[in-house]
Amino acid sequence: MATNLHNLSEYDIQSVPNAKGMRFGIVVSEWNHNITGALLEGAQQTLLKHGVEENDLIIMTVPGSFELVFGAAQMAKSGKVDGVIAIGCVIRGDTPHFDYICEGATQGLAELNTTGDVPVIYGLLTCNNLQQAQDRAGGILGNKGDECAITAIKMVDFKKKLI
């Protein structure tokens, strides 16, 4: 479903497993901090709302969205988290730089999911303009950070059911 047809912060609370005892890492891009900070706040508050303890959250920053891959990989390898949320925001500019960053970060995060043992949640906004980013970072379309937190809880629960 297209984001513009669905509020990112709306979900069936009954479908979310209890997250008590789950440990999460959140790696956040410093670039476009006005957006990524709002996404982080949404993710953090949603995790806490569903039972994650404050001391079971590790939050670290990286300079930009391309570096999310390294940050998420290191967090996953640390053994300190059950799931990782990668949060970033890339806004299209006048050069093809946008395409390279979005493609590299997307492929890198996808590879972490196929080769690793810790679910890595894709929280990278790839927007054509600032308004689209604001709409998805607590604006009229809700907060992608909320959606990422719910996805992270569900994926950690998914893995625990297989063990």
Catalytic residues: 97
Contacts of 123 by beta carbon, 8 Å cutoff, 6+ apart: 39, 43, 85, 86, 87, 88, 144, 145, 148
d(CA 157, CA 117): 13
Q: Could you tell me which residues are beta bridge partners of residue 90?
A: 126
Burial class (CB in 10 A: 0-12, 13-18, 19+), 47: buried
Helix%, strand%, coil% for the chain, nearest 5: 50, 20, 30
